Chains A and B, each alone.
Chain A
Amino acid sequence: MIIDLPSTTTVDINSELVKLRKEGGVITLGRVMTLVIDATNANAEDAIATANTASREHPCRIIVLSPRDGGDTLDAQIRVGGDAGASEVVLLRPPTATMDHADTLVTPLLLPDAPIVVWWPTVVPATPSASSLGAMAQRRITDTKGEDDPAAVLCSLSRGYQPGDTDLAWTRLTRWRALLASALDQVSDNRVLTAHVRGDVNSPSILLLGAWLRNTLGCEFEATYDPQATGLVEVVLTTPAGEVAIRRPDGHNATLSQPGQPDHVIALPSRSLGESLAEELRRMDADPVYGEALHEIKAS
Chain B
Amino acid sequence: MANPLRDPRDRRLPRIAGSCGLVMFGVTGDLARKKLMPAVYDLANRGLLPPAFALTGFARREWDKEDFAQVVHDSVKKYARTPWREETWAQLSAGIRFVQGTFDDPAAFAQLRRTVEELDKERGTGGNHAFYLSIPPSAFPQVITQLRESGLSDPQEGTWRRVVIEKPFGHNLATANELNDVVSEVFPPDAVFRIDHYLGKETVQNLLALRFANQLFEPIWNSQYIDHVQITMAEDIGIGGRAGYYDGIGAARDVIQNHLLQLLALTAMEEPASFDAADLRTEKEKVLRAVRLPEDLSLATARGQYAAGWRGGEQVGGFLDEDGIAPDSITETYAAIKVDIPNRRWNGTPFYLRAGKRLGRRVTEIALVFKKAPSPYFQQIQGSDVGTNALVIRVQPDEGVTLRFGSKVPGSTMEVRDVTMDFAYGNAFTDESPEAYERLILDVLLGDPPLFPRHEEVALSWQILDPITEFWATQGQPEAYRSGSWGPAEADRMMARDGRAWRRP
| Chain A residues at the B interface, C-beta cutoff of 8 Å | 27, 29-32, 56-59, 86, 171, 174-175, 177-182, 184-186, 189-192, 216-218, 252-253, 256, 258, 260-262, 264-267, 269, 279, 283, 287-289
Complex: A124 Cα to B245 Cα, angstroms? 63
Complex: A162 Cα to B5 Cα, angstroms? 23
**Are B430 and A58 touching (Cβ within 8 A)?**
yes
Residues of chain B in range 29-64 having any CB-CB distance to chain A below 8 Å:
47, 50-52
Q: A32-B428, A267-B87, A289-B7 are in contact. Are A178 and B52 (CB under 8 A)?
A: no
Complex: A32 Cα to B429 Cα, angstroms? 8
Q: Please, which residue of chain B has its CB at the minimum distance from the CB of A285?
A: B11
- Which A residues touch B90, using CB under 8 A? 265, 267
Q: Please, which residue of chain A has its CB at the minimum distance from the CB of B95?
A: A264
**Are B47 and A184 touching (Cβ within 8 A)?**
no
**Are A181 and B19 touching (Cβ within 8 A)?**
no
Complex: A271 Cα to B273 Cα, angstroms? 39
**Are A58 and B429 touching (Cβ within 8 A)?**
yes
**In the complex, how many angstroms separate the beta carbon of B282 from the nearest chain A beta carbon?**
29
**Are A217 and B4 touching (Cβ within 8 A)?**
yes
- Does B360 touch A at the CB level, under 8 Å? no
- Which A residues touch B295, using CB under 8 A? none
Can you report 22 residue pairs joining A to B where beta carbons are below 8 Å apart?
A: A31-B428, A32-B428, A58-B430, A86-B431, A171-B12, A174-B12, A181-B6, A182-B50, A184-B3, A186-B19, A191-B1, A192-B4, A217-B5, A261-B124, A261-B126, A262-B121, A265-B90, A265-B94, A266-B91, A267-B85, A287-B10, A287-B12
- Does B344 touch A at the CB level, under 8 Å? no
**Are A190 and B3 touching (Cβ within 8 A)?**
yes
Complex: A27 Cα to B423 Cα, angstroms? 11
Q: Please, which residue of chain B has its CB at the minimum distance from the CB of A178?
A: B13
Q: Please, which residue of chain A has its CB at the minimum distance from the CB of B6?
A: A181
Complex: A59 Cα to B7 Cα, angstroms? 29
The 4 A-B residue pairs with the shortest CB-CB distance in the complex, in nearest-first order: A30-B427, A267-B87, A264-B51, A261-B124
Complex: A57 Cα to B82 Cα, angstroms? 13
**Are A267 and B126 touching (Cβ within 8 A)?**
no
**Are A261 and B3 touching (Cβ within 8 A)?**
no
**Are A288 and B5 touching (Cβ within 8 A)?**
no
Complex: A186 Cα to B50 Cα, angstroms? 10
**In the complex, how many angstroms separate the beta carbon of A211 from the nearest chain B beta carbon?**
13
**Are B91 and A283 touching (Cβ within 8 A)?**
no
**In the complex, how many angstroms separate the beta carbon of B116 from the nearest chain A beta carbon?**
16
Q: Please, which residue of chain A has its CB at the minimum distance from the CB of B85?
A: A267
**In the complex, how many angstroms separate the beta carbon of A103 from the nearest chain B beta carbon?**
26
**Are A216 and B5 touching (Cβ within 8 A)?**
yes
Q: Please, which residue of chain B has its CB at the minimum distance from the CB of A31?
A: B428
Q: A180-B5, A182-B50, A289-B10 are in contact. Are A59 and B123 (CB under 8 A)?
A: no
**Are A30 and B87 touching (Cβ within 8 A)?**
no
- Which A residues touch B5, using CB under 8 A? 177, 180-181, 184, 216-217
- Which A residues touch B14, using CB under 8 A? 178
**In the complex, how many angstroms separate the beta carbon of B401 from the nearest chain A beta carbon?**
12
Residues of chain B in range 70-103 having any CB-CB distance to chain A below 8 Å:
85, 87-88, 90-91, 94
**In the complex, how many angstroms separate the beta carbon of B21 from the nearest chain A beta carbon?**
14
Complex: A17 Cα to B206 Cα, angstroms? 31
- Add 7 more A-B contacts to A30-B428, A177-B10, A252-B87 (CB < 8 A): A29-B427, A30-B423, A171-B12, A264-B52, A267-B87, A289-B7, A289-B10
Residues of chain B in range 110-127 having any CB-CB distance to chain A below 8 Å:
121-124, 126
**Are A57 and B4 touching (Cβ within 8 A)?**
no
The one of B1, B94, B126, B429 in contact with A186, judged by C-beta atoms closer than 8 angstroms, is B126
- Which A residues touch B297, using CB under 8 A? none
Residues of chain B in range 421-477 having any CB-CB distance to chain A below 8 Å:
423-424, 427-432
Q: Please, which residue of chain A has its CB at the minimum distance from the CB of B425?
A: A30
Complex: A174 Cα to B14 Cα, angstroms? 9
Q: Please, which residue of chain A has its CB at the minimum distance from the CB of B16?
A: A182
- Which A residues touch B52, using CB under 8 A? 261-262, 264
- Which A residues touch B88, using CB under 8 A? 267
- Which B residues touch A262, using CB under 8 A? 52, 121-124
Complex: A171 Cα to B10 Cα, angstroms? 12
- Does B18 touch A at the CB level, under 8 Å? yes
- Does B9 touch A at the CB level, under 8 Å? yes
Complex: A192 Cα to B6 Cα, angstroms? 13
**Are B4 and A190 touching (Cβ within 8 A)?**
yes
- Which A residues touch B423, using CB under 8 A? 30
**Are B85 and A216 touching (Cβ within 8 A)?**
no
**Are B427 and A288 touching (Cβ within 8 A)?**
no
- Which A residues touch B13, using CB under 8 A? 174, 177-178, 181
**Are B432 and A56 touching (Cβ within 8 A)?**
yes
Q: Please, which residue of chain A has its CB at the minimum distance from the CB of B89?
A: A267
Complex: A4 Cα to B106 Cα, angstroms? 74
The one of B3, B51, B427, B431 in contact with A185, judged by C-beta atoms closer than 8 angstroms, is B3
Q: A30-B423, A185-B3, A190-B1 are in contact. Are A177 and B12 (CB under 8 A)?
A: yes
Q: Please, which residue of chain B has its CB at the minimum distance from the CB of A266?
A: B51
Complex: A186 Cα to B423 Cα, angstroms? 42
Complex: A21 Cα to B170 Cα, angstroms? 52
Complex: A289 Cα to B7 Cα, angstroms? 8
- Which A residues touch B123, using CB under 8 A? 262
**In the complex, how many angstroms separate the beta carbon of B448 from the nearest chain A beta carbon?**
14
**Are B430 and A56 touching (Cβ within 8 A)?**
yes
